[in-house]
């Protein structure tokens, strides 16, 4: 007979709160309600900010405490996703590799024209693989624990278009890894420092514009649940949201602020979540030509803004 996991966790005294993709529960080791139980992986991981960091496999935990089998437990609203393997394009080369072919020079020229610092260009690659989807694109790798787990690419030719009914409709700029959800990954996550400042932009070019500060990008304007969880797990000291300078960007600011607060562990309630306002007439941070943000010019997000944006009044 199957039983609901939430009921069992409650019986075991773990005081579960259903957060959608995971339960927030009381940690059996430290006693604080800061342990994440992920529905998809069945892993129980306590927040490392409180100096615990305990990791437990749900199957082992249930066997030790109730002699139960995880296969006989149901999880409400659990998302079941088909596992996919990341396929790296064969024509990928990083800018740090030797060689000076036409594709490399054109890709470098594009990045320099976008005012990307040299130290950040060295993190990227380019793809020259004629006849394939990713040919003549810049390669943006997403690293986790020193492994590439996701990537997206950007056309540097300006000649790639989306077609509809045989006509060119709009430029096709970005082409991401197939079969993977961009909301599951955080650009630059391995570089986020515990206690440091993290700047969250909408686009990769803005994040790469920072030279000695750490930036990441939401990729699709709004943060995903897994992205928010992974960011908090790195325990930054301050988070600064830098939206695009338009109504959509301001709306996304509110959504991302609410997403971060929803997933923020109790022990991180003192961490500031700020915003940086771009100058009038500037579309996004990359357009400013700057390589840093003065943290003293970042502002607190007013609590009332999470309920109603002032421009919607």
Stretch 25-41: mean pLDDT: 83
Distance between start and end Cα atoms, the chain? 53
Q: Which residue has the tokens 């500037």?
A: 282
SS (H, E, C) 241-303: EECCCCHHHHHHHHHHHHHHHHHCCHHHCCCEEEECCCCCCCCCHHHHCCCCCCHHHCEECCH
66 CB neighbour count, 10 Å cutoff: 11
Pairing of strands 238-242, 137-144: unpaired
pLDDT (tens digit per residue) in 112-142: 999 999 999 999 999 999 989 899 999 999 9
Q: Interior CA angle at 23 toward 21 and 26, to 5°? A: 160
pLDDT (tens digit per residue) in 261-310: 999 888 888 889 999 999 999 999 999 999 999 999 999 987 555 444 43
List, in order of start, the domains of the chain with CATH numbers. Answer: 3-74 (3.90.580.10), 92-180 (no CATH), 187-312 (3.40.1360.10)
pLDDT (tens digit per residue) in 57-80: 888 888 777 655 555 555 554 443
Residue closest to 211 by CA, chosen among 110, 293, 113: 293
Does pLDDT of 83 surpass 50?
no
pLDDT (tens digit per residue) in 218-273: 987 789 999 999 999 899 999 999 999 999 999 999 999 999 999 988 888 888 99
pLDDT (tens digit per residue) in 202-228: 999 999 999 999 999 998 778 999 999
Decide: 94 and 121 in contact? Cβ < 8 Å.
no
pLDDT (tens digit per residue) in 146-183: 899 999 999 998 776 555 555 655 567 889 999 999 99
Across the strands, what pairs with 162?
A: 170
Whole-number Å distance between alpha carbons of 223 and 258: 10
Q: Which residue has the tokens 């690419």?
A: 153
Q: Which residue has the tokens 């749900």?
A: 58
């Amino acid at each position: 007979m199957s039983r609901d996991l939430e009921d069992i966790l409650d019986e075991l005294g773990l005081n579960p709160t259903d957060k959608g993709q995971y339960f927030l529960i009381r940690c059996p080791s430290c006693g604080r309600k800061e342990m994440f139980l992920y529905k998809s992986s069945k892993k129980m991981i306590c927040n490392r900010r409180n100096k615990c960091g305990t990791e437990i496999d749900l199957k082992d935990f249930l066997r030790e405490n109730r002699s139960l089998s995880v296969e006989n437990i149901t999880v409400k609203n659990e998302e079941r996703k088909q596992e996919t393997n990341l396929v790296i394009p064969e024509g990928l080369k990083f800018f740090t590799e030797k060689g000076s072919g036409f594709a490399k020079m054109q890709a470098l020229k594009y990045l320099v024209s976008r005012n990307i610092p040299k130290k950040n260009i060295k993190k990227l690659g380019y793809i020259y693989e004629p006849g394939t989807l990713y040919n003549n694109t810049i390669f943006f790798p997403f690293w986790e624990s020193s492994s590439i787990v996701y990537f997206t690419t950007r056309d540097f030719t300006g000649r790639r278009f989306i077609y509809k009914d045989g006509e060119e409709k709009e430029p096709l700029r970005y082409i991401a890894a197939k079969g993977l959800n961009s909301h599951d990954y955080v650009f630059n996550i391995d570089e986020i420092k515990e206690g440091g400042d993290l700047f969250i932009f909408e686009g990769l070019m803005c994040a790469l514009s920072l030279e000695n500060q750490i930036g990441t990008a939401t990729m699709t304007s709004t943060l995903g649940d897994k992205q928010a969880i992974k960011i908090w797990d790195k325990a930054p000291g301050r988070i600064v949201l830098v939206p695009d300078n338009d109504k959509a960007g301001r709306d996304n600011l509110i959504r991302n602020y609410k997403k971060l607060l929803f997933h923020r562990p109790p022990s991180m309630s003192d961490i500031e979540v700020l915003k940086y306002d771009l100058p009038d007439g500037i579309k996004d941070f990359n357009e400013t030509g700057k390589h840093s943000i003065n943290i003293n010019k970042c502002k607190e997000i007013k609590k009332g803004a999470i309920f109603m944006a002032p421009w919607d009044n």
